[in-house]
Amino acid sequence: MKPNLKQWKQLMLFGICAWGLLFLVIFIYFADNNSVEPVPSAFSYIEDKKLPPIQGKQRVIMGALQDPSLSYAIDEGILNSFKSGPGSLKTIADVENYFESEDEFIMSKKKKATVYRDSNQSARYRQSSHSRQRKTRRNVRRAKQQMLEESDEWNGFSSTMSKSFLQKLWKGNVSSKMLTPRLQKARREYLRANKLGVSFSGKQNSRKLSAQELLCILKKRAHVRTLDGKEAPFSNLGWEKYFPHIPLNKLYPQGFSTCAVVSSAGAILNSSLGAEIDSHDAVLRFNSAPTHNYEKDVGNKTTMRIINSQILTNPSHHFSDSSLYKDVTLVAWDPSPYYADLHMWYHKPDYNFFPPYEHHRKKNPNQPFYILHPKFTWELWKIIQENSNEKIQPNPPSSGFIGILIMMSLCEKVHVYEYIPSYRQTDLCHYHEQYYDAACTLGAYHPLLYEKMLIQRINQGTEDNLLRKGKVTLPGFSTLHCPINDHIT
Ligand code: NCC
């Protein structure tokens, strides 16, 4: 009898341990997953990790390649489903209410199937603890979201961005919690790494500023500044002769009446915006974005090109001989340390673009070719941070945001295309490349989400233009009437 009891006890103890272990394994699995979407190449977005990137050294999250065959045809019916068509948006609003304050994120079609399987399999283990029950409820809601997105109203564009997220973006009402777990993780990792030594001493504005207040802050503080060779180390190196003698803000003494800023987003494909873009007095494009073969959608006029330091240093861009970089005004930039110490930056730029810049200037002394002063880019970053209610990535804003601000200081009216995505939103990163990653639109390295929300807040165009054309209308600084001593609290 006695040994039997002991055996029973041992057996029970063993059983409890086994269940405990099983519970722990399951808990870790689901806690770590925190999502339906597995994190592809979980560490690939941090350069410090020294893992082989997909396209060389990169500044954005890569991975999550999607099947290009998921691309979609745009038709009026789909567009109308974004508008207040009977029934459809009401249903969506209902579901949105239901989702209120939940971690809302969006799944690629392929991943969605996994969610179902995942939630069914795990249901067996989810009875005892509260947190597990919450998880079950969340999966049910996700399943509903899935059904919603697969319904007629949402045809599952080639995008991991849900319709409701897009609608919130148009209203400037999104937060990082609504991003996919992968992008959330990237943001957290960049915040943790803080590679450029950002220490933000300003404060976030205690209230949401009006569009006019924001515009006046931008006008007051976003003074375009380029290197002029008068500061060390450039003065000691005799670089004054390389920098253009006329500063960028005086290059066009008459300014421009209307300007177009053309984002490189894949969503501009099939937009037929080319003629409209070309009708502007000046057109700004970015990096290696071509016009040839894409004229119908992006036009063919280019007045200025903002290029990041990768363009000058990565041989694949053929910077010295490509026609993309000829006969236009060039403005180059590179992420510097936060305090914009020019010595440190010159000796350790993100990409060493100084030698190719010097080479190009010697060969093409008459082409207006500027290097942005890092103080300008960091000032823009501060304005974004001050007006965001979350910590933004401690990295400079994207070329897009920088370019918009440059054009606002040169033009009376600025139209920005597909920076804030239209209903054509897709994960296709660029209109000229078969590469899919939502990070290109919503940001991993760059604080793109917050930049876009700021631009949305100062948009003076109609919502219809935003959702149909991805078009934002902004006033030039010269047209703004701002109080001289505005004090924002
Ligand atoms: O992708 P990129 O930007 O050249 O795009 C130019 C600007 O268009 C806006 N954009 C682009 C794609 C998209 N889906 N949505 C968008 O809103 C952004 O405002 C973007 O700034 C850059 O900002 O310089 C960036 O450059 C690329 C890359 O270096 C160049 O294309 C050259 O290859 C960066 N990609 C990588 O580093 C891999 C990107 O992070 C930012």
CA of 401, closest atom in ligand 1: 19
Supply φ then ψ for residue 332, to 5 degrees. Answer: -100, 155
Same domain, 224 and 166: no
Smallest CA-to-CA distance from 270 within 300, 292, 298 is with 298
| Among the listed residues 443, 397, 388, the one whose alpha carbon sits nearest the alpha carbon of residue 421 | 443
Residue 125 lies in a domain: yes
Share of the chain above pLDDT 90, in %: 63
Residue 200's pLDDT band, with cuts at 50, 70 and 90, is: very high
Statement to judge: residues 231 and 273 lie in one domain: yes
Q: Quick one: what percent of the chain has pLDDT higher than 70? A: 71
Distance from the CA of 399 to the center of ligand 1, in angstroms?
A: 7
Average pLDDT over residues 195-204: 91
**Cis bond before residue 233 (omega within 30° of 0):** yes
- pLDDT value for 40: 31
Distance 480 CA to ligand 1 centre (A): 29
Q: Which two tokens stand for residue 185?
A: 């993780």
Report yes or no: 404 and 476 within 8 Å, Cβ to Cβ: no
pLDDT of residue 162: 87
| pLDDT, greater one: 342 or 100 | 342
92 alpha carbon – ligand 1 mean position (Å): 32
What is the 83 CA–ligand 1 centroid distance (Å)? 30
Quick one: average pLDDT of 353-379?
98
Is there a single domain that holds both residue 328 and residue 450? yes
Mean pLDDT of the 284-295 span: 98
Domain presence at residue 249:
yes
More reliable by pLDDT, 281 or 160: 281
Structure confidence by residue, pLDDT tens digits, 3-19:
576 787 888 887 787 78
Pocket test for ligand 1, best of 308, 401, 450, 466 (most atoms within 8 A of CB): 308
Q: Which residue has the higher pLDDT, 42 or 279?
A: 279
pLDDT tens-digit readout, 438-473: 999 999 999 999 999 999 999 999 999 999 999 999
Which of ligand 1's atoms lies nearest the C-alpha of 439?
14
Cα(167) to centroid(ligand 1), Å = 23
pLDDT, tens digit, for every residue of 385-428?
999 999 999 999 999 999 999 999 999 999 999 999 999 999 99
pLDDT of residue 135: 72
Could you list the residue range(s) of the whole structural domain that residue 25 is in? 1-33
Q: Would residue 132 count as lying in a domain?
A: yes
SS3 readout for the chain: CHHHHHHHHHHHHHHHHHHHHHHHHHHHHHHHHCCCCCCCCCCCCCHHHCCCCECECCCCCCCCCCCHHHCCCCCHHHHHHHCCCCCHHHHHHHHHHHHCCCCCCCCCHHHHHHHHHHHHHHHCCCCCCHHHHHHHHHHHHHHHHHHHHHCCCCCCCCCCCCHHHHHHHHCCCCCHHHCCHHHHHHHHHHHHHCCCCCCCCCCCCCCCCCHHHHHHHHHHHCCCCECCCCCCCCCCCCHHHCCCCCCHHHHCCCCEEEEEEECCEHHHCCCCCHHHHHCCCEEEEECCCCCCCCHHHHCCCCCEEEEEHHHHHCHHHCCCCCHHHCCCEEEEECCCCCCCCHHHHHHCCCCCCHHHHHHHHHHCCCCCEEEECHHHHHHHHHHHHHCCCCCCCCCCCCHHHHHHHHHHHHEEEEEEECCCCCCCCCCECECCCCCECCHHHHCCCCCHHHHHHHHHHHCCCCHHHHHHHCEEEEECHHHCCCCCCCCCC
Together in a domain, 310 and 358: yes
Query: Are 161 and 220 within one domain?
Result: no
Contact 476/414 with Cβ under 8 angstroms? Answer: yes
Tell which atom from ligand 1 comes closest to the C-alpha of 60. Answer: 40
- Is 304 a residue whose pLDDT tops 80? yes
Residue-level pLDDT at 159: 78
Decide if 139 contacts 51 (C-beta within 8 A): no
Ligand 1 pocket check: which of 261, 263, 405 to mutate, most ligand atoms within 8 Å of Cβ?
Answer: 263
Whether 6 maps to a domain, the answer reads yes
The pLDDT mean for the chain works out to 80
Domain boundary among 167, 193, 219: 193
Whether 460 and 397 share a structural domain? yes
CA of 229 to the centre of ligand 1 (A): 28
Kindly calculate the radius of gyration of the chain based on its CA atoms and give it in whole angstroms.
25
Spacing, Cα 461 to ligand 1 middle (Å): 24
The 10s digit of each residue's pLDDT in 72-88 is: 233 344 344 443 332 23
Asked whether the beta carbons of 457 and 172 are under 8 A apart, the reply is: yes
Spatial distance between the Cα atoms of 85 and 80, rounded to a whole number of angstroms: 6
Task: Select from 399, 430, 449, 453 the residue to mutate for testing ligand 1; criterion: most ligand atoms less than 8 Å from CB.
Answer: 399
pLDDT reported for residue 75: 35
Residues 6+ apart with CB under 8 A from 228: 240, 243, 247
| Mutation to probe ligand 1, out of 61, 187, 286 (largest number of atoms < 8 A from CB) | 286
- Based on the fold, state whether residues 310 and 405 are members of the same structural domain: yes
Are 349 and 324 contained in the same domain? yes
pLDDT at 53 over 70: no
> 305: CA distance to ligand 1 center in Å?
13
Best residue among 322, 398, 426, 446 to mutate for probing ligand 1, ranked by most atoms within 8 Å of CB: 398
Residue 182 is predicted with a pLDDT of: 96
In a domain, 98, yes or no: yes
Q: Could you tell me the distance, in angstroms and rounded to a whole number, from the CA of residue 182 to the centre of ligand 1?
A: 18
Q: What is residue 110's predicted lDDT score, i.e. its pLDDT?
A: 35
- Region 165-177: mean pLDDT is 94
> What mean pLDDT comes out for the span 337-348?
96
Same domain, 366 and 222: yes
Per-residue pLDDT reduced to its tens digit, 148-166: 454 333 334 477 888 899 9
Among the three residues 193, 228, 255, which one is the final residue of a domain in this structure?
A: 193
Of 35, 175, 33, 155, give the one whose Cα is nearest residue 106. Answer: 35
Report how far residue 22's alpha carbon sits from residue 160's, in angstroms, rounded to the nearest whole number: 33
Q: Is the pLDDT of residue 488 over 70?
A: no
Confidence at residue 78, expressed as pLDDT on a 0 to 100 scale = 36
Residue nearest to atom 41 of ligand 1 (CA): 398
Q: Report the separation in Å between the CA atom of 279 and the middle of ligand 1, taken as the mean of its atom positions.
A: 24
Question: Is 201 among the domain residues?
Answer: no
Q: Which ligand 1 atom is at minimum distance from the Cα of 267? A: 14
Same domain, 395 and 469: yes
Residue 24 lies inside a defined structural domain of this protein: yes
Residues 335 and 409 in one domain: yes
Q: Which of 100, 95, 265 is nearest to 177 (CA)?
A: 100
11 and 150: one domain? no
Q: How many domains does the chain have?
A: 3
Ligand 1 site, CB within 6 A: 55, 58-60, 263-266, 286-288, 308, 310-311, 398-400, 419, 429-430, 440-441, 445-446
Cβ proximity of 22 and 41 under 8 Å? no
From the CA of 419, give the closest atom in ligand 1. Answer: 17
pLDDT, tens digit (0-9, with 9 covering 90-100), for 226-272: 999 999 999 999 999 999 999 999 999 999 999 999 999 999 999 99
Residue 285: give its domain's CATH number: 3.90.1480.20
For residue 240, the CA-to-ligand 1 centroid distance in Å is 30
In the reported structure, the alpha carbon of residue 31 is separated from the centroid of ligand 1 by a whole-number distance in angstroms of 33
Give the domain-ending residue among 193, 226, 246.
Answer: 193
Q: Give a yes or no: residue 38 inside a domain.
A: no
- pLDDT score for 2: 55
